[in-house]
């Protein structure tokens, strides 16, 4: 059994995140931990797993205390942990080596390692990607790799920090099946913002105002409004034709063939016209080419054939939010980070800070609270909102957003939709890649759906 006894945690120089927490995790239990962005879900999971020391109280993992040096290694050998950002735990030069890394470090017999790695590759749909470098994978593929690397070690206690955030519906369903099929089944503690996942848990725990409260299990009942997200896979209704709207950016006959993949084509002869006041929603399963298309429109990826062009001058100003926007944050404080683009575009430092405060307010990040904070000290969802504020400070006319809703609670997604809708009303054009386009409902959109074919791996655009 894993137990938490009167646990508290406080980051240096900041308010106490939670205190007086008591919890017992029984073998085989599946526990969902829910809460608003910034409430401490990720920190709680790391404390329970023994990865960060508690400020007060103690954690016992099968009666072993990870805070005691002589017991730490044995305690952590019972634990598997999936971080919120899958790129944070990729170390090896290939997918195959990444999955075997933990087993090798534990001194598992090489023959058994080979068997277990092959099983994990097949189970998580990674066999064809085994020789590829993890950095060459799509966001969804990286998520599956991180999951495979944790599951292959068969830990007794499994901590998953938003494990399905980058998976499509099929991937989420498959992961749920895999968790249920583990034998013996590990105890699973999962931070989530989804109704569906909270509903499958044996217990649902709410982190709020520094306390832990148990809710009735089943469909996230009892969760506060504005917290959990429901699946929203259906494409939004297309807007009426806006052929008269000005074209800000255009891709003509775009084709992309994946290097080193024996001619696999992601999309072929695709025409994309980004118009003022309209959003193009790019949907499709994991690894269908959504991120590649956005990088191509941003000028970071060259098409195999075709061209990208658009207007010149201020109207051509493009802001690109990548799939892992937290990597854009680099300044000592949030305020300096958000002000960077405005200052680089010629604003005085005082004016840039004024713009930054306005942009932070726009993404529901109080500048008085967030402005002086080091970006790395923010929660995952908070970092994503700050990265978006940094883009807005540039006053873009074209927005390219790659899964901007990932990591946001329901109220955060609603606010994101309001921000985008307002920008479209101001004449901004946007391209949004997403697995869950439901938050774009009611906006003037056109939909491009990328579909992988069963035979060639090429993509059909509908």
List, as one string, the DSSP characters of 215-249.
E--STTTTPPTTTPBPP--SPPPPPPP-TTSPEEE
- pLDDT value of position 263: 67
- pLDDT value of position 306: 94
List, as one string, the DSSP characters of 49-117.
TTSS--SEEEEEETTB-TTSHHHHHHHHTTEEEE-SSGGGG--SSSHHHHHHHHHHHTT--HHHHHHHH
- Per-residue pLDDT at 38 exceeds 90: no
CB 274 within 8 A of CB 430: yes
- Per-residue pLDDT at 168 exceeds 60: yes
Strands 305-310 and 247-257: antiparallel
Residue-averaged pLDDT of the chain: 87
Could you tell me how many residues make up the chain? Answer: 462
In DSSP terms, 56 is beta-bridged to 8
- pLDDT value of position 412: 84
- Per-residue pLDDT at 461 exceeds 50: no
Query: What structural domains does the chain harbor?
Result: 2-215 (3.40.50.300), 247-461 (3.40.50.300)
- pLDDT value of position 203: 92
- pLDDT value of position 453: 46
Biggest alpha carbon distance in the chain?
71
267-285: average pLDDT: 92
CB 76 within 8 A of CB 50: yes
- Per-residue pLDDT at 199 exceeds 80: yes
What distance in Å separates the CA atoms of residue 32 and residue 192, rounded to the nearest whole number?
A: 7
179-196 confidence digits (pLDDT tens): 777 777 899 999 998 877
- Per-residue pLDDT at 176 exceeds 90: no
* pLDDT grade for 452, boundaries at 50, 70 and 90: low
What distance in Å separates the CA atoms of residue 410 and residue 420, rounded to the nearest whole number?
A: 15
- Per-residue pLDDT at 70 exceeds 70: yes
Please give the share of the chain, as a percent, with pLDDT higher than 90. Answer: 55
Strands (DSSP E) found in 238-344: 247-257, 265-275, 279-283, 305-310, 318-321
376-386: average pLDDT: 87
- pLDDT value of position 220: 47
């Amino acid at each position: 059994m894993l137990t938490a006894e009167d646990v508290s945690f406080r980051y240096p120089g900041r308010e106490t995140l939670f205190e007086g927490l008591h919890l017992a995790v029984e073998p085989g239990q599946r526990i969902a931990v829910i809460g608003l962005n910034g409430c401490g879900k990720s920190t709680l999971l790391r404390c329970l797993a023994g990865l960060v020391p508690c400020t007060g109280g103690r954690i016992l993992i099968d009666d072993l205390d990870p805070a005691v040096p002589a017991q730490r290694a044995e305690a952590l050998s019972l634990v598997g942990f999936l971080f919120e950002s899958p790129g944070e735990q990729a170390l090896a030069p290939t997918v195959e080596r990444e999955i075997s890394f933990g087993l090798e470090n534990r001194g598992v017999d090489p023959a058994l390692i080979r068997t277990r790695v092959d099983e994990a590759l097949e189970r998580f749909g990674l066999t064809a990607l085994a020789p590829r470098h993890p950095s060459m994978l799509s966001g969804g593929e990286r998520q599956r790799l991180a999951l495979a690397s944790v599951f292959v070690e068969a830990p007794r206690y499994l901590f998953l920090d938003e494990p399905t955030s980058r998976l499509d519906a099929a991937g989420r369903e498959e992961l749920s099946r895999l968790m249920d099929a583990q034998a013996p089944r590990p105890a699973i503690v999962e931070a989530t913002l989804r109704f569906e996942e909270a509903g499958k848990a044996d217990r649902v725990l709410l982190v709020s105002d520094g306390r832990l409260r148990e809710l009735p299990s089943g469909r996230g009942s009892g969760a506060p409004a504005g917290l959990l997200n429901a699946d929203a896979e259906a494409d939004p209704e297309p807007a009426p034709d806006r052929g008269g709207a000005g074209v800000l950016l255009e891709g003509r006959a775009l084709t992309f063939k994946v290097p080193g993949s024996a001619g696999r084509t992601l999309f072929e002869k695709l025409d994309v016209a980004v118009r003022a006041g309209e959003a193009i929603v790019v949907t499709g399963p994991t690894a269908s080419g959504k991120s590649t298309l956005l990088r191509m429109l941003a000028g970071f990826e060259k098409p195999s054939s075709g061209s990208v062009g658009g207007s010149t001058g201020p109207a051509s100003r493009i802001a690109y939010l990548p799939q892992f926007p937290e990597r854009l944050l680099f300044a000592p404080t949030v305020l300096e980070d958000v002000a960077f683009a405005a200052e680089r575009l010629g604003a005085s430092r005082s004016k840039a800070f004024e713009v930054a405060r306005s942009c932070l307010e726009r993404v529901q990040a109080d500048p008085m609270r967030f402005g002086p904070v080091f970006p790395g000290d923010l929660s995952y969802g908070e970092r994503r909102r700050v990265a978006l504020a940094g883009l807005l400070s540039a006053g873009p006319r074209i927005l390219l957003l790659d899964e901007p809703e990932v990591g946001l609670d329901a109220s955060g997604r609603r606010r994101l939709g309001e921000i985008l809708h307002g920008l479209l009303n101001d004449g901004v054009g946007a391209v949004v890649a997403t697995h869950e386009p439901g938050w774009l409902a009611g906006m003037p959109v056109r939909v491009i759906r990328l579909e992988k074919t069963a035979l060639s791996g090429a993509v059909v655009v509908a």
